Structure 1
Amino acid sequence: MTEKKQLHLGAFMRPVSLHTGAWRYPGSYPDANFNFAHLVSFAQKLEAAKFDAFFMADHLAVLNMPVEALKRSHTVTSFEPFTLLSALAGLTSRIGLVATASTTFDQPYHIARRFASLDHISGGRAGWNIVTTANPDAAPNFGLDEHVEHGERYARAREFYDVVTGLWDSFADDAFVRDVETGTYFNPERMHRLDHSGPELKVRGPLNIARPPQGWPVIVQAGQSEPGRQLAAETAEVVFCAPRDLEAGKAFFKDIKARVVAAGRSADSIKLLPAAFIVIGDTAAEAQAKRLRLDSLVSYESSIASLSISLGTDASKFDPDGPLPADIPETNASKSGREGVLKLAATEGLTVRQLAQRYGGYSGLAFVGTAESVADEMEKWIEEEGSDGFNVVFPYLPQGLDDVAERLVPELQRRGVFRKDYEGTTLREHLGLERPQNKFFPSDAK
């Protein structure tokens, strides 16, 4: 009997729900995105359900939308990722902790120290989601008049990855001998100074933290543009992506795996986890009713603002009941987001108002149905190589999370496609990823 493929589950938890109406849904916690006690409860429930990871996105500016829309958003405030995840590390023991950190608006030494610290504090559960920051409103917060050009951001990100991983390898695993008798704390011959000097970055090193327990925290990447896909193929071990359906998922899966092999890596060295919005009901009709009620809580002001963010331009100036203009220019915002809107508008012939309604709630891949029907869809994605699992987006908190943890997960476990318990203690072990070899001390390979 052929062993069933095992799927991986991450939880998208910043914001706690990507749906604009989530905080208004009956029974939800309106302050769930900025209430530490609630977040602790969510993390512990996810760990009890054996999720691979708790994932925090990050924003370096208030969302670039009109104040009439912004005042309705539950994402205006949220915790800084490292502060929150470091606190959660002490209140959990197995679940992975993935934080987003920007290569455009931070320095490699800072990033290397923070993630190495989080990996040590958590006992090997840290992951770094590499982003170049799409929001142009972040630039003025860091002394820039204009956002850095898209291609330049990705060129810096590629070099940034080399520097950070090089800093993590500053010490061999056995460098810290701590010999009380001789008074030798560490062996200098097992320390490497990076001395990196490249087109974008100049960093001496070494890092003043021991090599992380995982060797390197798990590398996560989420860009879907051409530069983003290539960066993922060369560096990432997990890819968070947003295909709209199984066919798009299969095409993305095939493309990324081929690029990984072309980059000289094993296809199994990377896991693809599409974002999946999940609504569970006792019946399909009940689940659909929940989704419709949730969508009804989104105002037009929020809807058109969300569409504007995806397009990278102010969509409120368009005729609401007309088609999307054909001459929308490219910007330095997310290119894949813009292309997704244009494709959806062309494929379904939607008006600007209809597009806004779709984007104002949640416009991506959604599994809406019973625990059994959602499990059917997830299995199909795994079997047909559309993904290696999913990064779950909850519709509202806490009930939406409880429905997944207490109803869907047991169904997946019953089918033998998801773990009943953790087999290891690190995020790499959860994901089936190897511990990387030290660049400068190869004998440290596991």
Structure 2
Amino acid sequence: MSPQAETPAGVVRGRRDSFGELYRAIPYAAAPHGPGRFRPPAPHPGWSGVRDGTGPSPTAPQPVRDFGRLDMNPYFGPGWVRGEEYLTVDVRTPAADDGKRPVLVFVHGGGFVTGSTRAALYDGRAFARDGVVLVTVNYRLGVPGFLDLEDAPANRGLLDVLAALGWVRDTVAVFGGDPDNVTVFGQSAGATLTGALLATPQAKGLFRRAIIQSGSGTGAFTPEQAARVTAAAASALGIESTAEAFGEIPDERFLEILPALAGLDLRTETASDPLAGLSPFSLVLPVQPADGLLGGDVDLLIGTTTEEGNLYGAANPGELGETLFGAGTARMARAHARSSDGRTYVYSFGYRSTALDGRLGAAHTVELPFVFDVADEPWLHGDAGLLGPDPAPDGLAARMHGAWVAFAKTGDPGWGEYDAVEFFG
């Protein structure tokens, strides 16, 4: 018999396997459509009867990303799967009981324009196997999620993540999780969003720990930079730069104008482009997250891969990786250690993938198969696979995944606390 969980919004049916139970496509907010795409997330009205949670949800509108020979589908997922009700979470749990297990909430990456809970890399079987409840989150992307408009709330994608964390607080106990032991973690854009939560007053009390994987504590746009993107988007669409005008435009047109936004010069007299031209969207904040941390007692685990920029095939990948990820990570680690009563831990991931004839190396995203303990999956190997033709090294996934599990359970990944001199000089 299929398992069922009774949430405050209604009963949801999942499926059971040897790893535990999986509940998919559970809405944490009302579907954003029309002008509502530019409003704060609204409470979901709930449902009667039993909701089918055995299949995946639609995804946020997003473009196709092409990395040439490298198969990045396990990272990006299937792309845009149409349907309005995509503000959803998937829940992997050992059992929907009263177990009060530690909870990990994952915020995916994708440059603020792509990604979803449907990506194969985010399979939570290993977390459920190891006694952790994993919640993965969809949020608004691109123009609806992050275009800055004077008559709309800023950072709507971040507001979605906040709403999802509120859902976790109110609902995860139904799925065997402990709402008082929540760790939010993200990678790339998801990591930058996670860092911003540490500087967001509304996030206080929603989580106990945070993990920032290959993000940046200095990745936010200034209002002036965001205004350039908004002006370019309005010009490409031939409309005024208001939420009312954008609310009438179909999502297809937002994707069609993305090439017109790529490569905008966002340098100003006071700021460089914090994303080095890799995305026209980011958070829009008066100060960088690393400079606006709220303190408190949230424990932080933060780090990067050693060759982040290799994923992008840039002529200067080392400089790109250091500018975009390394410097912002170092600044966030230092700021957290200074301002927080929580512990700070730093990692550096150096395993070199043999993909692309050995050139990919320890690139952006390569740590994810090890965090989720799926590094032996055949779809990550071969000539086009993210990890290349060679098998994953014995024991590395167990060590890295185990460190994430230990951090979620106890706040200690298994090594010493942060030392600025040791890690960043």
Answer yes or no: same fold by TM over 0.5: no
Q: Which protein has the bigger strand share?
A: 2
Which structure would you say has the larger Rg? Answer: 1
TM-score, length of structure 1 as denominator length: 0.31
